[in-house]
Amino acid sequence: MERLATLSDDIKQYLIVTGNYWVFTLTDGALRMLVVLYFHGLGYSPLSIAMLFLFYEIFGVITNLVGGYLGARIGLNKTMNIGLAIQIIALLMLAVPEPWLTVIYVMIAQALSGIAKDLNKMSAKSSVKMLVAAGEEGTLFKWVAVLTGSKNALKGFGFFLGGLLLTLMSFNAAMLLMAGVLAIVWCFSLYALSNDLGKAKNKPKFTDIFSKSRSINLLSGARLFLFGARDVWFVVALPVFLSQAFAWDHWTVGSFLALWIIGYGIVQSLAPKLINFKATLSPAKETVKWASLLAVVTLAITILLYFDWSIKVSLIVGLIVFAVLFAINSSLHSYLIVSMADADGVSLDVGFYYMANAMGRLIGTVLSGWVFQLYGLTACLAISCLFVFVAGGISSKLPR
């Protein structure tokens, strides 16, 4: 406690933002796994399960655009707290008797959760820019990497938690438990977060939600295809395939995906060391190099599955290598957007970028259910490979 008391105000704010982000991410990961496994158990098709997340992703696109504007106008502390409150409402909406859980009802609850998630993420990522001194690029990369990596590790624990909760209790009891924990965090955040964090000195116009920077537009385009490449197989296709092809139960599927995400998050946190960060880092060269490696690995997994070569070994080992390379790509992108963003009203640029991120997830989610239902996991991975190649091609136009 004495050491905490001696920390600077900026570090304390960073810890509060990170703590909020951690707990929120834990509930978000658990909620996703609970919905996928619960509705798969009720007999829903892969495409129907993907549709449950449709509004989640659509409203994520809208929220990042509008949320970046709101963050610059009213402050990132308020947008973060609004996100926490909306997630509590979404969880309570799902804590109802089973007959109420129709597809439309769940889609509406997931829409609120999507709004909450992206308000929270945009606020957390933008806050880091405000808490690191200008020109300290190495420090900025490390802070962004730690925030992003720890978030994804906790999302993995959320997947694990989702599978565990569904094993130990009912679906609606799990929703009530998570809503209660998040309500405690929300009350503390209302008290502790700085009131002027991230508020722009010059009030932006609503038209400023669209980025005018060529570099940010290119990076956003690359991000769209990068995350579409992950979610086209990860969101629906992979958990359903593991359940069907390997006869894994809820606990095993949740545990495997949790470990995958946790490892992915750890690698993200270590990315500054793996990339050998320098002040003269070339965005174009680094992003193309890591995207190319990811594309080659994805292609190799696709070929191995197509020829039925030891499917379980090929898939599990391939996904581990994919996780490492995707984590480095993601962490590099996350650093670049925060670095390139305008310091005054940083949430505008970050919000636009994560709008593209959400659009990629939306496309990937829909394709994950549709393509898997019609053609299987191999086809999903083939599309993933194509998307990574496109992301690399766009990244080649970034500044050198």
Residue 43: enclosing H or E segment and its boundaries? none
pLDDT at 313: 92
**CA-CA distance, 143 to 125, in Å (whole number)?**
10
Best CA proximity match to 275, nearest among 135, 155, 129, 137: 137
Task: Assess whether pLDDT exceeds 90 at residue 38.
Answer: no
**Residue 211 burial (C-beta neighbours within 10 Å; 0-12, 13-18, 19+):** buried
88 vs 358, residue with greater confidence: 88
Euclidean distance between CA atoms 198 and 72, whole angstroms: 6
> Exposed, middle or buried by CB within 10 Å (0-12, 13-18, 19+), for 138?
middle
Measured between alpha carbons, how far is 380 from 367 in angstroms, rounded to an integer? 8
CB-based contact 77:197 (threshold 8 Å): yes
Query: Predicted confidence band at 60 (pLDDT cuts at 50, 70, 90)?
Result: confident
- Average the pLDDT over each of 79-83, 193-197, 256-260 and give the range with the smallest value: 193-197
Tokens of 47: 């495409």
Q: What is the pLDDT of residue 400?
A: 74
pTM, entire model: 0.77
pLDDT of residue 345: 55
What class does CATH assign to 2-395? mainly alpha
| AA letter at 320 | I
Predicted pLDDT at 385: 96
Judged against a pLDDT cut of 70, whether residue 63 lies above it is answered with: yes
Query: What is the C-alpha radius of gyration for the chain, rounded to an integer number of angstroms?
Result: 20
pLDDT in the model for residue 306: 92
Contact yes or no for 162/33 (Cβ under 8 A): yes
pLDDT at 59 over 80: yes
The domain limits of the chain are 2-395
Mark 295-309 as b/e (b = at least 16 C-beta within 10 Å).
bebbbbbbebbeeee
3-state secondary structure 348-381: HHHHHHHHHHHHHHHHHHHHHHHHHHHHCHHHHH
Q: Is the pLDDT of residue 5 over 60?
A: no
**Residue range 322-326: average pLDDT?**
94
What integer best gives the mean pLDDT of the chain? 83
